Amino acid sequence: MENSTQPVSEAPVTNGTTLPTTNGAVSMGNGAVDVPAQDFTQSPGNYRYEPQLQAQSQTKTLAEPISADEIALYDRQIRLWGVKAQEKLRTANVLLINMRALANEIAKNLVLAGIGSLTVLDSSIVVEDDLGAQFCVSEEEIGKNRAEAAASQIRRLNPRVALQVDTEDIQFKQPDFYAPFDMVIATDLDIATLSTINASCRLCNRPFYASGTHGFYGYIFADLIQHDYVIEREKSNRPTALAPETFTRSIVATSTKKENGKVIEMVTKREIYSPMVLANTSPLPAEQTNSRRRKLQVPPLLSCLRALWEFYTISGNMPSHSHPDLALFTSLATEKHQELLLPAETLRSDFLRSFLQNIGSEIAPITAFLGGQLAQDVINVLGQREQPIQNFLLFDGEEFKGPVYALHPIFPDMDSILEPPIAAPVAGAEMPMPMPMPV
Amino acid sequence: MGRDRFVRQSLGALYSRIKQARILMVGAGGIGCELLKNLVLTGFGEIHIVDLDTIDLSNLNRQFLFRQEHIKKSKALVAKESAAKFNPHIKLEAYHANIKDPQFNIEWFQGFKIVFNALDNLDARRHVNKMCLAADVPLIESGTTGFNGQVQVIVKGKTECYDCNTKETPKTFPVCTIRSTPSQSIHCIVWAKSYLFTEMFGTSDDEAPEFDHSEDTENAKEIENLRKESQALNSIRQSMGSVDFARKVFEKVYKDDIDRLRSMEDMWKTRQPPAPLNFDGLSKAAEGISPSIAQQDQTTWTEAENFAVFCDSLKRLSSRLQKAQAQDAEAAAPSVLTFDKDDDDTLDFVAACANLRSIIFGIERRSKFDIKQMAGNIIPAIATTNAMTAGLCVLQAFKVMREDITKAKMVFLERSGARVINSDTLKPPNPNCSVCGVMQSRLIVDPSRATLNDLVEDVLKTQLGYGDEFSINNDVGTLYDPDLDDNLSKSFVDLGVKTDSFLTVIDDEEENPRVNLSLSISEKSLPGDTKPVQVPGKLHIARKPKEVPAPTANGASNGHAEITGTKRKRSLEEDSQREPKRGKIQMNFNTDGFLINDVVIADDQNDGAIVIDDD
Ligand SMILES: [Zn+2]
């Protein structure tokens, strides 16, 4: 396909100057072209991002307490998640990479919710195809940089949010580029680029989301490294044990407070994550594969997404409708399906056909759904409340299915949760080591 | 290549039909703004938007088609202007008007391929539901509260309609309704949660906010009786843990108290008297029923199953409370348990107790799943939920446009951690539904000469074969029944029966009565040699199905955002992977109580239903 979802295959826009934008923020640009995904180390050091920019915008918002105006504007959501979560949200600095339709939706939702600062990054230009599902760009903006074009619309949604634009190719970013952000979201990218961003985020200990859509299908992946969040509940007389709840989640602290004569218990839970590069080769959780009935419920979308990523890694483009491409894709999908220990009959040919038909496409109802889901997860994570996605959400908009699987390199039975971890069997794959804690 | 490249790629042949489709969106608020964006981008050819409201500051955090400078302007008109920029090829028509206005008649509804409800109030939803049924246009109905959202497809004759289920709205109840004369399942749930549970495991001086004492002076004697009942229950509480504790509690609340109520004959002159339950009989009937029945939260438990869950949950809660009391012996305040809808022990107890009480009063039982929703809170609207829900509306529309209604679903957002969406197959129409369980027809009326007698004699008795026992009703009241024949000689004009209004004919024959007949009036000048009142075509009116309990009517439409308990269903397929509910995330937690815009925002009282006038 000549116009793939993958900017890696496209020449980045050359834009050697630093452009001021209307709200005084700074656009990043550079003149380099065609640097392969893993090769970002060759990118010259003078393109380094200056983290002070974000730091300044953040200290400003931090200094001002939430105003009555803001409370009126955010009235409904504050009723839902409380003023403390809103305070956290309004000081948060988020990076959003690759501004296609999904990112338009995410940006809209985060900006409406009142995050402190958003940086939208894209080096490509607006083409006519973009008008289909990207509501932030219009016909007059064809030929302009996609981040710049989207930013003018996004800014109007909520002038309180500090919006930055970065037009540099993500491939050229050094790991420390990510350090100023509280959250990094990358959309519609290939697995190598996503893994590189994810690795950089881990180096500076920043939570990372990856998400993408192909027509009716999509996914969200989360690597929050280690995320603590608080659940508040009325204290019961049954004491809350500080203990693991699942393989990835444990209760790490509890405290109490009094509210309107009731004792409220605040339970701090901790989720542990794996990076995408490992999650992408990890087996399904044992409870998902220990019965045939459950195996039958796993959508073939997981196998197809893995196959698509591998196809791109091997061939450098998306599968066309040529016979060799279809044969390669099908054999990869079959291989991934087997690796996941899934029954052959769920990888149906009509599903394969439909998936292939949808590759590279973006349609509004799907990007709206996933963009809403991802933004809500980000909002909850920033506010440190609610269970976040752990760690891979699949979405099939034809079947109305959206299961979440915890994909980790090691996943023992729940029974052995306090025992030393035992590697789960993965057909034909070497077993990666558990991910060490980040620095 | 171009703007429609990807919709062509993903939708294939369907896209050409979408491009030609003329659709209606009712409501341009939270869901509406998101939905309109999706509809315009997807390329629906002609979109009509109706909304009565104007824009308010508190809309701006989610209704993204509106900005500061639009405050106080019409939602429909501004939404149209903003959305037009997303795709200049779409024809948009906006009406700053009430969907109940006469201009939006059945014929007008018939001009649309699909109608989308993006409304925030029960009354308008029910109206559009009725109009779509009459016009036979598919309706996509959606609603959100907090993190929850749902989308339902309604197709006349094929699926449930919006009114096939009872709609519950949160409110307070007179003490006597809860304690003495319940008539709806919510009354029994409030009784189980706020009275029985609290008396057994909580601090009895905790007053539940559901209780409305405004009528207390009128019922002073009964209030005194109820106080005695509570005291007696409290003394039973002292025997918690004893072998016959369950029997004591059961016989107190399901036999002795009921016998006392039943003896007050004045109370049951117009109501069905309650029938006490028998502990020994139920013990026998419940033999062999595993307490694990409590995990089946989708099914409506039988009397014996409810009894089994009652005994089991009572045991679980008693041992929890006693353990806690033993541990906290030194503590100043005595240990208590509080109801938490996410705590299965407490929810099981409330569900079983509420259902047993429902049986006594002849009220329909509910599933645990429904009871959880009804015992929970109403929470406000946010952008992300609206965005997801609006996306699902369009996906449902694709199924309808493909004329593949079997693939359309009842879809819910879910936050269990195991999945983000859940679906259920669409249910067939409820044959006893007072809205869709009716025969519908047009009635052509010549206003210059038609009288009510023409309808009664020519159409109903002669042409359709009705006997003598039936009545004719409209919004205002009864126009005709066998004892009310004053109106027969009056003309339709004199009776105020105008074009596009409805008449309902109710067959009151004892043997095999017909389903209700709903007639929509069309005025037309008819030739002088023909009858002045005519039904177009031939009508075959079905007979009512026998003895299926009818859904209880609920007139309490209050114009508030709401999601109904009865509609939330989860498919059973992946139940087993859900984690235990005890101590799960509470999704409706406000950290502080505070006051904005004269609305008190309560903190999370599991029983303090908050209603927020929205959109
Ligand atoms: Zn109905």
B469-496 average pLDDT score? 89
Query: Does residue B40 belong to any structural domain of this protein?
Result: yes
Residues B115 and B9 in one domain: yes
Domain ranges of chain A: 9-223+361-405, 227-272, 283-358
Residues B150 and B190 in one domain: no
Q: CA of A340 to nearest chain B CA: how many angstroms apart? A: 18
Task: Mark yes or no for CB contact A77/B383 under 8 Å.
Answer: yes
Residue A21 tokens, joined: 């934008």
> Looking at beta carbons, which residues of chain A come within 8 Å of B9?
215, 357-358, 360-361
**Per-residue pLDDT tens for B400-448?**
999 888 899 999 999 888 999 999 999 999 888 878 888 888 899 999 8
Instruction: Give the C-alpha separation, B249 to B234, whole Å.
Output: 10
Q: Which CATH homologous superfamily contains domain A9-223+361-405?
A: NAD(P)-binding Rossmann-like Domain (3.40.50.720)
Going by C-beta distance under 8 Å and a sequence separation of 6 or more, which residues neighbour residue B555? Answer: none
> Looking at beta carbons, which residues of chain B come within 8 Å of A239?
327
pLDDT at B264 over 50: yes
Phi first, then psi: give them for residue B345, nearest 5 degrees: -60, -45
Instruction: Give the C-alpha separation, A95 to A382, whole Å.
Output: 13
Q: CA of A269 to nearest chain B CA: how many angstroms apart? A: 10
- ipTM > 0.90 for the complex: no
B158-164 average pLDDT score? 93
pLDDT band at B607 (very low <50, low <70, confident <90, very high): very low
Domain boundary among B327, B344, B379: B379
C-alpha B260 – ligand 1 centre gap (Å): 39
Task: Mark yes or no for CB contact A387/B328 under 8 Å.
Answer: no
B164 contact A CB<8A = no
Identify the CA nearest to A204 among candidates A235, A232, A181, A221: A181
C-alpha B110 – ligand 1 centre gap (Å): 19
Task: Mark yes or no for CB contact B9/A357 under 8 Å.
Answer: yes
Q: Which of B384, B585, B589 has the CB atom closest to A387's CB atom?
A: B585
Q: CA of A290 to nearest chain B CA: how many angstroms apart? A: 12
Among A220, A363, A373, the strongest candidate for a mutation testing the B interface, having the largest count of B CBs within 10 A, is A363
Task: Mark yes or no for CB contact A79/B417 under 8 Å.
Answer: no
> Looking at beta carbons, which residues of chain B come within 8 Å of A406?
none
Cis? peptide before A391, omega within 30° of 0: yes
With a threshold of 0.80, does the pTM exceed it? no
Element (H, E) at B279: helix B279-285
Task: Mark yes or no for CB contact A129/B3 under 8 Å.
Answer: yes
Q: Which of B325, B381, B390 has the CB atom closest to A76's CB atom?
A: B381
C-alpha B143 – ligand 1 centre gap (Å): 18
pLDDT at A263: 86
> Looking at beta carbons, which residues of chain B come within 8 Å of A105?
387
Q: Which of A114, A246, A400 has the CB atom closest to B409's CB atom?
A: A400
Q: Check if the beta carbon of residue A275 is closer than 8 Å to that of residue A198.
A: yes
**Per-residue pLDDT tens for B512-563?**
888 889 898 989 999 988 999 999 888 888 887 765 444 433 333 333 333 3
Residues B145 and B193 in one domain: no
Residues B369 and B386 in one domain: no
A vs B: CB pairs below 8 A: 258
Domain boundary among B379, B396, B419: B379
Instruction: Give the C-alpha separation, B301 to B355, whole Å.
Output: 8
Q: CA of B71 to nearest chain A CA: how many angstroms apart? A: 12
pLDDT at B469 over 70: yes
C-alpha B155 – ligand 1 centre gap (Å): 10
> How long is chain B?
615
Residues B228 and B351 in one domain: yes
Q: How many Cα neighbours within 13 Å face the side chain of A352?
A: 21
pLDDT at B370: 79
Residues B110 and B251 in one domain: no
Q: Check if the beta carbon of residue B452 is closer than 8 Å to that of residue B526.
A: no
Query: Does residue B135 belong to any structural domain of this protein?
Result: yes
Residues B144 and B273 in one domain: no
Place of tokens 């939330």: B568
DSSP string, A74-111: THHHHHHHHHHHHHHHHT-EEEEE--SHHHHHHHHHHH
Task: Mark yes or no for CB contact B41/A133 under 8 Å.
Answer: yes
B393 belongs to the catalytic site: no
Q: CA of A42 to nearest chain B CA: how many angstroms apart? A: 36
pLDDT at A259: 66
Q: Check if the beta carbon of residue B230 is closer than 8 Å to that of residue B198.
A: no
Query: For chain B, what is the largest distance between any 2 Cα atoms, rounded to a whole number of angstroms?
Result: 95
Q: Which of A84, A109, A245 has the CB atom closest to B383's CB atom?
A: A109
Q: Which member of B132, B164, B176, B433 is catalytic? A: B176
Residues B396 and B260 in one domain: no
Report the mean per-residue pLDDT for chain B: 82
Query: Does residue B444 belong to any structural domain of this protein?
Result: yes
Domain boundary among B506, B534, B562: B534
B589 contact A CB<8A = yes
Residues B120 and B26 in one domain: yes
Residue A250 tokens, joined: 């444990």
Instruction: Give the C-alpha separation, B615 to B601, whole Å.
Output: 17
Q: CA of A156 to nearest chain B CA: how many angstroms apart? A: 8
Identify the CA nearest to B219 among candidates B208, B227, B231: B227
Range of the domain at B38: 5-159+381-404
Residues B111 and B226 in one domain: no
Q: Which of A73, A156, A403 has the CB atom closest to B57's CB atom?
A: A73
pLDDT band at B178 (very low <50, low <70, confident <90, very high): confident
Task: Mark yes or no for CB contact B388/A372 under 8 Å.
Answer: yes
Task: Mark yes or no for CB contact B58/A364 under 8 Å.
Answer: no
Give A438 or B261, the one with higher predicted confidence.
B261
C-alpha B124 – ligand 1 centre gap (Å): 15
Identify the CA nearest to A134 among candidates A158, A102, A98, A156: A102
B179-185 average pLDDT score? 88
Task: Mark yes or no for CB contact B421/A401 under 8 Å.
Answer: yes
pLDDT at B592 over 80: no
Burial state string for A259-295 with b = 16 or more CB within 10 A and e = fewer than 16: beeeebbebbbbbbbbbbbbbbbbbbbebbbeeeebb
Q: Which CATH number is B62's domain given?
A: 3.40.50.720
B397-404 long-range contacts, CB within 8 A, separation 24+? B397/B23, B397/B114, B397/B116, B397/B140, B398/A365, B398/B11, B398/B14, B399/B153, B400/B114, B400/B138, B400/B140, B400/B153, B400/B155, B401/B14, B401/B17, B401/B18, B401/B21, B401/B113, B401/B114, B402/B14
Among A86, A237, A405, the strongest candidate for a mutation testing the B interface, having the largest count of B CBs within 10 A, is A237
Query: Does residue B564 belong to any structural domain of this protein?
Result: no
B1 contact A CB<8A = yes
pLDDT at A132: 94
Residues B338 and B214 in one domain: yes
Positions in chain A short of pLDDT 70: 1-63, 79, 259-261, 411-439
pLDDT at B586: 26
**Eight-state DSSP code of residue B100:** T
pLDDT at A84: 87
pLDDT band at B331 (very low <50, low <70, confident <90, very high): low
Residues B324 and B219 in one domain: yes
DSSP string, B375-406: HS------HHHHHHHHHHHHHHHHHHHTT-GG
**Per-residue pLDDT tens for A78-99?**
767 878 889 999 999 999 999 9
B597 contact A CB<8A = yes
Going by C-beta distance under 8 Å and a sequence separation of 6 or more, which residues neighbour residue B220? Answer: none
Q: Which CATH number is B453's domain given?
A: 3.10.290.20
How many domains would you assign to chain B? Answer: 3
